[in-house]
Structure 1
């Protein structure tokens, strides 16, 4: 018996039966959604409860939406008899049951569905046969059987290969039908485990991270509904690209943002050398000292009057209270505790006089003018901007806070050449945002999420990593990236260092087998690896991609674009940032759009500045002037590696200038 059986070799009545099951499942899903829409929040007792219940019902209705171009199920498991589970299970993107609660489709995240991804002839996991389905526009068109109980080897799946290679336009799609065993292991990692994925281009690391978020939400629904899940990407264009994945899996309540969106949209121009110092983890100690240096030694005691009586707390007692609180709590709670401690000392004196004050009296004393004046003088109320402003504008204060953690040269770099009039008028940079966040956490504790997914993590500074780590200090994280694609001056060289600054003790997993980028293209880009990441294993691709690479000297951009437009699929015309406008104008008469940092529009042909290409992919990629891409920034070779690995089907390289030496052979 052959390893695979493909329609039309299998009788058409089998295909017809599966098509009928799909129609039944779609009808059942429609009924489930109609039932959810019929439910009313009026049953809740009060208005607030009604609003909460209505929000939950709206989410349920949205999660049950049917996508006509997406199959409800993509696989089937025929299982051995012997347990309470059904003998036949259809595996799909969400659970679907009929009016009698009979499962028609089982969610891919359910424990029983794991066998669809992990079962093999060596370990069938109780599965006799695995069936994969081929679809077109949401309609079932073919299927392929893999007999697992008979042992032996199973050859490559044609349906699986075609799905991986299928041309795509628009946003990123989910990969539930094509998850590989090593990817599935990562996706199903436990909630308490932080996972770091070093993924070569085309290995699906971003998809794995998104699917892990979906899996955790399914497995720990109630817990994560309270604590939250967040996806952090490099820019808004990237978020737009991945925006459809989780909703397609029925997960509509996941926050997706950028580091700037999380820490503050600050974008004042700044020398990269300054940003590099600000991004260094040493700044955490400097900032902590800068904050606590605002507390001054009490020189006077407290005098509180109540009626004809005056109650005194001596200056040395005030100093002892301040010393006991300083550095043992966060700044704002410490300030509040100081007021309460002073009030308590006043109450002790009241009791010594024969009074019987209660907690209400203590709160009144803590809010009284004498106590507030003393607290303001000793432990002033601060916001992060005040502290950072003083640090960056006062050389003596910076030296006092920096001690030996920053060199004199680094301190001079940090100081503003022309200080602002005040902290309210200051223009902050992206690097400042992480410093302000660090200060904010020193003042008031940052709330923690249940799970955080961070993509392109190799490009984050140590201070940005600390900021993200605070968001998952009571939870876990999925950290995604590729050290070879690090393009910032502060790019990470080690994932262990990344995890350390995140405050997470995680496991590092490496994905080197690619499914999306053709081998011919990947091998060409990998020529750069010895220069940018010599310690990483060279990536491999399952797809030979013969004829997928074309390198042309003096080629015309418009001609290459027309050639790509004659093929099926999306086109990314990736150019040096400085050439974006020039290249766009050269496409006069050819419909296209230019990708910007905040772009959300979809277009088949996009002119993509090289700095925005990271994380995106296109069926056909045209790269213009690699030498200019390299020359544009200090880690230009890494940027070029990113650019060359965005192609799913073909890569065309156009150059008038000599190629970088690594690519010239």
Structure 2
């Protein structure tokens, strides 16, 4: 690899007015072309194009989204790489010609003749930028990476893949980009995607993928870039079916919300599991033991039994009067219809809607035998007959899902009847409300209860399925929550992201095969990422001391960062002085600072920061560049990252959880949020597992 000219602090080489100047000219021309593309869309006149106001509104929205997608973000490089092909790319990459080169960027940019000036990173012709190597050059003679300061191109670096005499060397620009300070929300990684990550990103839409990745391996970024890739490769299909990114909490979603828009994708919905199952207002909370039982997959069978207990076999026939004629459907025939519907794999509500039509069909058969010629209109009229409607109401009554769950949790006899052989007596007692509610509105529903309502709702009426769902921090979901997510992609695929070592709920996932089974994606391929790009070497090595105690089967993350990171353990006197001193020290450095503490200590630390005049915000509130310190309760730290972290009282983090194993996992999460440095302060002793 050569070290070309630049004015970036990559080395001491002098600035060259040749290649670097030409690359800057291409950048300026590309920005001009992008601006022209945007102006062309802005100038569209649709006044005489659409026939009605509805179509006009839809078209206006599409144009508005297209204008947003063509925005030129001044601080974001328009392209970050260049590929020089030895030969013309394949037929499927018809843009290429003999010896042609391609600039790889976040979106496609073309000139007035339609020729590409920047190709989208997701295009097939861009793939060698991530996959090509000295061993497998993929017909690439040169791969060039660009360095930027803000939006200005300041450096480049060449790798001659077809030259056997040149040894493979780690890219300094790539290393700099990986280790660049983090300030504000999460950013995309299109310039630094590694081969093993790219394989996951470009996996097909038809299959589901599960990514097991330790802290800093980029699993969240991989999941988001996979969504962007799938939208590029299957845009029409996913535009019809929809895509969804599911995160653990609002703070996490706020942290990642700018990644997809930066890649030009504006239509991806983001939600938490609680958002998906928000059928009732949550006003209560469960003890851990209760939540574990309610989250157990066996509850699905209890709900199914309880729902179908409302179906009653008919005890008498039906007489349908039409004009002067009377048509009788005997009880045995009604029983056959009901049994046939029960045997079919259709929802309770769909079967209830089908029942009057089946009864009407039986009447029509009698009419035909009597010489009449009824049509579909007659069948629909019979289905709406008062006698038929009364029979349906008696045999297959409507059931409100929330009221069904309310009764299960309030009525011990009703629960015992339908949980027999599924839940034991202690488990039944655990889920029963101490103070039964009188109505759905007055009930103090817990988050686990809403998942039960969602399950019951799906038993009554099928949940709408999306084309693709990304589920992040999946290790913390209960089996019933997995089922709730799985219902949203029964006809689509899923990307499941998580780390078994970071499971901090009482029902945390024990194995991915079990979790994928509950999700309904047992065929998903499980990939493991073990190369750490975010957490410094010394920090991840220290945190990995906990792995034998929390996830003995997992491979420790191996940091590939050249910078070992800033890492200190400081014994402090009781109080907050040591923590405040560490915060002040780290705020003198460039980048963001996170102060992570046990939830119970957060109020005391917030008061101390305020008294000391140190400005701070909470997770999800990082909108003010002048305030670079975030005070993070340990329970909300998962998925977040900061340049520097001050971890207050590790033992308090462990003791704040219901059991030691969960506490050690929470501590593992807290220890691995730092990108550049970590300071651990403690007045009490450290947990022995860190010795």
TM-score (norm 2): 0.93
Q: How many residues align?
A: 662
**Is this contact kept in 2: 1:70–1:138, CA < 8 A?**
yes
**Is this contact kept in 1: 2:246–2:469, CA < 8 A?**
yes
* Mapping 1:221-300, distance limit 5 Å: 221-264=235-278, 266-300=282-316
After TM superposition, give the deviation of residue 651 of structure 1 in Å. Answer: 0.4
2: CA distance between counterparts of 1:601 and 1:402? 50
After TM superposition, give the deviation of residue 311 of structure 1 in Å. Answer: 2.1
579, 583, 603: which one pairs with 1:561? Answer: 583
2: CA distance between counterparts of 1:547 and 1:322? 69
After TM superposition, give the deviation of residue 51 of structure 1 in Å. Answer: 2.2
Q: After the TM superposition, which of the residue ranges 247-256 and 398-407 deviates more from structure 2?
A: 398-407
CA-to-aligned-CA distance 1:105-159 (integer Å, 9 cap, x gap): 0000000101111111111111111110000111101111111111243211111
Q: Secondary structure at the match of 1:561?
A: helix
Is 1:330 the counterpart of 2:347 in the alignment? yes
Q: Determine the structure 2 residue equivalent to 1:356.
A: 373
After TM superposition, give the deviation of residue 296 of structure 1 in Å. Answer: 1.3
CA-to-aligned-CA distance 1:42-97 (integer Å, 9 cap, x gap): 31223322222222212111111110000100001111134551411100000000
Q: Secondary structure at the match of 2:377?
A: helix
598, 602, 618: which one pairs with 1:595? Answer: 618
Cα distance change of structure 1 residues 62 and 349 upon mapping to structure 2, 3 Å threshold = same
**Is this contact kept in 1: 2:2–2:157, CA < 8 A?**
no
1: CA distance between counterparts of 2:288 and 2:45? 56
**Is this contact kept in 2: 1:342–1:371, CA < 8 A?**
yes
After TM superposition, give the deviation of residue 268 of structure 1 in Å. Answer: 1.8
Q: Determine the structure 1 residue equivalent to 2:153.
A: 140
Q: Determine the structure 1 residue equivalent to 2:668.
A: 641
Q: After the TM superposition, which of the residue ranges 423-432 and 64-73 deviates more from structure 2?
A: 423-432
Is 1:27 the counterpart of 2:41 in the alignment? no
**Structure 1: unaligned runs, 5 residues or longer:** none
After TM superposition, give the deviation of residue 252 of structure 1 in Å. Answer: 0.5
Q: Secondary structure at the match of 1:143?
A: strand
Is 1:615 the counterpart of 2:608 in the alignment? no
Q: Secondary structure at the match of 2:18?
A: helix
Q: Determine the structure 2 residue equivalent to 1:169.
A: 183
Q: After the TM superposition, which of the residue ranges 296-305 and 404-413 deviates more from structure 2?
A: 296-305
**Is this contact kept in 2: 1:574–1:623, CA < 8 A?**
yes
Cα distance change of structure 1 residues 600 and 567 upon mapping to structure 2, 3 Å threshold = closer
Q: Over aligned residue pairs, what C-alpha RMSD do you find?
A: 1.6
CA-to-aligned-CA distance 1:553-602 (integer Å, 9 cap, x gap): 11611111110110000010001111111101101243433425x75745
**Is this contact kept in 1: 2:535–2:559, CA < 8 A?**
yes
**Is this contact kept in 1: 2:182–2:675, CA < 8 A?**
no
Q: Determine the structure 1 residue equivalent to 2:550.
A: 532
1: CA distance between counterparts of 2:441 and 2:365? 42
* Mapping 1:494-533, distance limit 5 Å: 494-504=511-521, 505-533=523-551
Q: Secondary structure at the match of 1:277?
A: helix
Q: Determine the structure 1 residue equivalent to 2:214.
A: 200
After TM superposition, give the deviation of residue 6 of structure 1 in Å. Answer: 4.9
213, 217, 223: which one pairs with 2:227? Answer: 213
TM-score (norm 1): 0.97
2: CA distance between counterparts of 1:173 and 1:461? 29
1: CA distance between counterparts of 2:532 and 2:401? 45
2: CA distance between counterparts of 1:499 and 1:535? 18
CA-to-aligned-CA distance 1:614-643 (integer Å, 9 cap, x gap): 000000100111111101112110000000
**Is this contact kept in 2: 1:520–1:544, CA < 8 A?**
no
After TM superposition, give the deviation of residue 353 of structure 1 in Å. Answer: 4.1
**Is this contact kept in 2: 1:268–1:428, CA < 8 A?**
yes
Cα distance change of structure 1 residues 267 and 190 upon mapping to structure 2, 3 Å threshold = farther
**Is this contact kept in 2: 1:4–1:146, CA < 8 A?**
no
Q: Secondary structure at the match of 1:357?
A: coil
Q: Secondary structure at the match of 1:615?
A: coil
* Mapping 1:377-416, distance limit 5 Å: 377-416=394-433
Q: Secondary structure at the match of 1:128?
A: strand
2: CA distance between counterparts of 1:580 and 1:592? 15
**Is this contact kept in 2: 1:4–1:157, CA < 8 A?**
no
After TM superposition, give the deviation of residue 547 of structure 1 in Å. Answer: 5.5
Q: After the TM superposition, which of the residue ranges 5-14 and 48-57 deviates more from structure 2?
A: 5-14
After TM superposition, give the deviation of residue 32 of structure 1 in Å. Answer: 0.4
Q: Determine the structure 2 residue equivalent to 1:61.
A: 67
* Mapping 1:171-186, distance limit 5 Å: 171-186=185-200
Q: Determine the structure 1 residue equivalent to 2:393.
A: 376
**Structure 2: unaligned runs, 5 residues or longer:** 7-12
Q: Secondary structure at the match of 1:104?
A: strand
Q: Secondary structure at the match of 1:26?
A: helix
